[in-house]
Amino acid sequence: MNFKLSILLGVFLLLSTAKLFAQGNLKELRERPETNIVNTDTASTIRIKQISVPIPQLGLKVNYWKHWTKFGINANQATFSDSWNSGGVNSHALSGIVWQKSEYTKDRFNFTTELDLKYGKVWNQDQLPKKNNDRIFWDNKIAHKLNDKWAIYFSFTFESQFDAGYKYKRDSVGQEIIDYKASSFMAPGYFTESLGLEYKLDKTLSVRLGTGTARQTFLLDTTVQQRYGVDPGKKFKNDLAFQITANLDRDLAKNLNLKARYNLFADYKMVSNPTQRLDVTLAAKITRIVQVTASGVVFYDPEQQNGKVQMSESLAMGIIFAFPK
């Protein structure tokens, strides 16, 4: 028993001595740490080399342009047999349309150009062929946005027609003949420049207030009897006016679109009796390319037709190709 106790005491003393020795070494390290981890010669040779990390070219470009295009043909036809007792006139009509709009927008700058071309003719039995649609319209606008709703704009617009238009009458035997030429290309032709403010309610409705507007009326065909406000013997006149132009292009349903343009041109010499024009087109898409279109025009010019209101309307079905789809 005494021998076992002696061995335990010896082990205890040995462990205590080792612990004290380790603590002494740790204390020495704390008091005198080795700070020179790397010698001076080696440290002086270390250099940091800058490298260039190549950034891959993704080839991404911002396209500030947007384009919309429509073109198509409308047709209608009616035929009656000789035994048809309810009356009627054999007829057929054909018309074509081309519409293109491009828009460039970057930051506060915007440029918009819109081209609208229409031409059509109708052939009725025992009558002379007549045009039932004829319009050249080209509108260009530059705008600088002031905020989300208002912008300063400058616009340039050209309006005319492709073909001559006639007035008709009956001769002594009831045959239809031409009475006189009423219009032709650049008779009349209009160039309109306008500067003012534009208000955009949303992407579908905008209103231009052209406080500084000038319009040039051309009458280059001297055989046209209607003068369109141009003095006899002259081919040109210039007017200064206040102008209001409202544009609406809105989808009423998935396949139903309403497009309208209203223009008021108030000559400063006769502000109380302005020229006004309203164009309305309602288009219903039957299939991807088949479309039914109802359109109408209400036009008033105090210098034409003794100041009477002029109206026209048409209903057609045709093939229309639109891009983007």
pLDDT of residue 54: 74
pLDDT of residue 174: 86
pLDDT of residue 101: 96
Any idea which fold 65-323 has?
Porin (2.40.160)
Domain boundaries, the chain: 2-33, 65-323
> Whole-angstrom Cα distance, residue 151 to residue 231?
37
Identify the CA nearest to 128 among candidates 187, 171, 73: 171
Identify the CA nearest to 261 among candidates 298, 291, 315: 298
Three-state SS at 13: helix
User: How far is Cα of residue 149 from the mean position of the Cα atoms in its chain?
Assistant: 16
pLDDT of residue 45: 63
DSSP state of 204: T
Tell me, yes or no, if the pTM score tops 0.75: yes
Cα first-last separation, the chain? 106
pLDDT of residue 109: 97
pLDDT of residue 30: 55
CA distances 38 to 31, 32, 46, 302, Å, are 20, 17, 11, 100
pLDDT of residue 96: 95
Low-confidence ranges of the chain (pLDDT < 50): none
pLDDT of residue 13: 59
> Whole-angstrom Cα distance, residue 20 to residue 162?
114
pLDDT of residue 80: 80
Locate tokens 């616009």: which residue? 155
CB-neighbour burial class of residue 81 (10 A; exposed 0-12, middle 13-18, buried 19+): exposed
pLDDT of residue 77: 82
